[in-house]
């Protein structure tokens, strides 16, 4: 098969570790940090789907706002006292999530091969800008694409179409990398060449379609080349 001419990465969960907030959460809420990190993430994604599919997007809110709303919900669900100070601490931690250690190595290898590199993310532009700069990745990314411009979150096909529009390439010429099974599946349905990074040894979605490739780290994207 033809090698991809561009590789786009999901950001949250793929380049940036969304569960790294659990370390701070554990300090603030001993014994509940891990549970808070998981529930916070699950509710955040649920909210993206809810505002995308309801009333033709009438209830759209930027990813940052949904992230805050999800944190408040998760704390109420777990009966945790979320003071304004603790809320800002956790939100600031989310703004500066830990980056996975292989990020720079893989992005540099792609750049050395002349491959266009970028992010295609649910994050709003301000969030992504801070995360990319905090991780020191700005010099290795040609594109940082946010769905905020169309007010529709992944897995809406219009969100993936942004990758084609930004690169000027057909879907089959683009590699898409995600640690989120639902994202890898929808991107495969859209027509991207996909790598699902199965960091947590999970089963893939049971909907009859498999990603183009499956790996355990971002380094596995290099197998396309």
The catalytic site residues sit at: 10
Name the one residue in this structure whose structure tokens are 């930027």. 62
What contacts 139, CB < 8 A, 6 or more positions away? none
Q: How far apart are CA 146 and CA 124, in angstroms?
A: 6
What contacts 147, CB < 8 A, 6 or more positions away? 120, 121, 122, 153, 154, 156, 159, 162
Q: Which helix (H) or strand (E) holds 21?
A: helix 21-28
- Among 98, 129, 126, 101, residue whose Cα is nearest residue 16: 98
């Amino acid at each position: 098969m033809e090698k991809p001419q561009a590789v786009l990465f999901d950001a949250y969960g793929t380049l940036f570790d969304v569960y790294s907030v659990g370390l701070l959460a554990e300090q603030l809420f001993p014994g509940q940090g891990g549970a808070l990190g998981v529930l916070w993430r699950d509710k955040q994604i649920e909210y993206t789907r809810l505002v995308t599919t309801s009333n033709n997007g009438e209830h759209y809110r930027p990813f940052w706002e949904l992230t805050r709303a999800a944190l408040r919900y998760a704390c109420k669900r777990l009966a945790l006292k979320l003071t304004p100070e603790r809320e800002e601490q956790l939100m600031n931690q989310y703004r500066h999530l830990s980056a996975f250690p292989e990020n720079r190595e893989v992005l540099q290898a792609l750049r050395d091969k002349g491959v266009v590199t970028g992010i295609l993310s649910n994050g709003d532009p301000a969030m992504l800008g801070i995360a990319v700069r905090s991780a020191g990745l700005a010099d290795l990314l040609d594109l940082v694409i946010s769905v905020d411009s169309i007010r529709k979150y992944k897995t809406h096909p219009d969100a993936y179409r942004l990758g084609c529009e930004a690169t000027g390439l057909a879907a089959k010429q683009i590699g898409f990398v995600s640690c989120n099974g639902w994202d890898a599946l929808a991107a495969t349905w859209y027509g991207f060449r996909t790598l699902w990074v199965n960091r947590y040894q999970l089963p893939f979605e049971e909907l009859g379609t498999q990603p183009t490739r499956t790996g355990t780290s971002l380094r596995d994207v290099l197998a396309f080349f």
